[in-house]
Amino acid sequence: MVDAINPIDLVRQQTNPATSTVGGQTLSGDFNTFLKLFTTQLQNQDPTEPMDTNQITQQLAQFSTVEQQAQTNKNLLTLVKAQQQTQLSTAVSYIGREIETEGNTSTLLGGQATFSYFLPENGQTAEVIITNSAGRAVFKGQGSLDKGRNLVLWDGTNSFNSEQEPDGKYTITVTATNAAGEKMTVDTRAVGVVTGVETGEDGALKLTMGDVEVPYDEILAVRDPIYLDLGTDNAENES
């Protein structure tokens, strides 16, 4: 006589994604395993204490539940993959276009870096400081004072020594006051032209703007790119 076993527990172990990578595609194999174990259990049961028919019915019902769960997981995976393909197609269309995300880091590329910031009301002062990856200030100047979205276009010229800064990541800090001289909360944004699209190891979609990676779900706006006119100021306003 063999000890009583529950074939369903073994099937769950094989179909549980937390304990195994085996998915719905092996469900038929799991069912065969279940039948073999179940038949063996019946053949080796104690004749004086046969299995309860209720227990047999319960095990069959449990396997049916496992089968339904595995099929549900398979359908969800299909939906997720379809959504990822749709996102990928959309993201590819962003290449060459300008996107805006939360943050304060943009890429200086080809003599232009773009940032934006939002003022809750018209300002009296707005000091813009741009620092390089080492934290050293390379630009300091006055930004636009209008309520709403203000755009900063920087050509990479160091305002302290007039030298051209190399391409790379740069960070903006904006300190602003209102008409009463009170400090305002400034919401900064990272702006850049999409140069590539890639999928991470976790399946998450990312867009690249030079050296900066942006998760697809963090995109706040998509626009046609604005290119710096060297004959204008570095800071502009867009309502």
Rounded distance, CA 209 to CA 212, Å? 5
Rounded distance, CA 8 to CA 60, Å? 8
126: pLDDT strictly greater than 80 = yes
Rounded distance, CA 45 to CA 4, Å? 8
CATH of the domain at 183: 2.60.40.4070
19: pLDDT strictly greater than 70 = no
In this structure, are residues 172 and 106 in contact, taking their beta carbons and an 8 Å threshold?
yes
Top pLDDT among 79 and 24 is at: 79
Residue 2 inside a domain? The answer is no
Question: By percentage, how much of the chain surpasses pLDDT 70?
Answer: 72
92: pLDDT strictly greater than 90 = no
pLDDT digits (tens, 9 = 90+) for 46-68: 776 776 667 767 777 776 777 67
DSSP letter string over 151-208?
EEEE-SB-TTT-PBPPSEEEEEEEEEEETTS-EE--EEEEEEE--EEEE-TTS-EEEE
Q: What is the pLDDT of residue 236?
A: 44
Please tell me whether residues 86 and 126 are part of one structural domain.
no
Closest of 99, 47, 118 to residue 223, by C-alpha: 99
pLDDT digits (tens, 9 = 90+) for 179-215: 999 999 999 998 888 888 888 777 788 888 877 888 8
133: pLDDT strictly greater than 90 = yes
Residue 166 inside a domain? The answer is yes
pLDDT digits (tens, 9 = 90+) for 105-123: 998 988 899 999 999 999 9
Residue 28 inside a domain? The answer is yes
Please tell me whether residues 111 and 224 are part of one structural domain.
yes
Q: Torsion-angle region of residue 193: left (phi > 0), alpha (psi -120 to 50) or beta?
A: beta
Domain boundary among 66, 92, 118: 92
Please tell me whether residues 169 and 151 are part of one structural domain.
yes
Please tell me whether residues 77 and 109 are part of one structural domain.
no
Please tell me whether residues 113 and 68 are part of one structural domain.
no
22: pLDDT strictly greater than 80 = no
Quick one: DSSP state of residue 50? P
Residue 192 inside a domain? The answer is yes
- Exposed / middle / buried, residue 50 (Cβ in 10 Å: 0-12, 13-18, 19+): exposed
Please tell me whether residues 164 and 220 are part of one structural domain.
yes
* Mean pLDDT within 38-47: 74
Domain boundary among 48, 63, 92: 92
Q: Which residue range forms the structural domain that includes residue 83?
A: 7-92
Residue 125 inside a domain? The answer is yes
150: pLDDT strictly greater than 80 = yes
Domain boundary among 92, 124, 153: 92
Q: What is the pLDDT of residue 72?
A: 74
pLDDT band at 227 (very low <50, low <70, confident <90, very high): confident
Please tell me whether residues 113 and 217 are part of one structural domain.
yes
Domain count, the chain: 2
Residue 188 inside a domain? The answer is yes
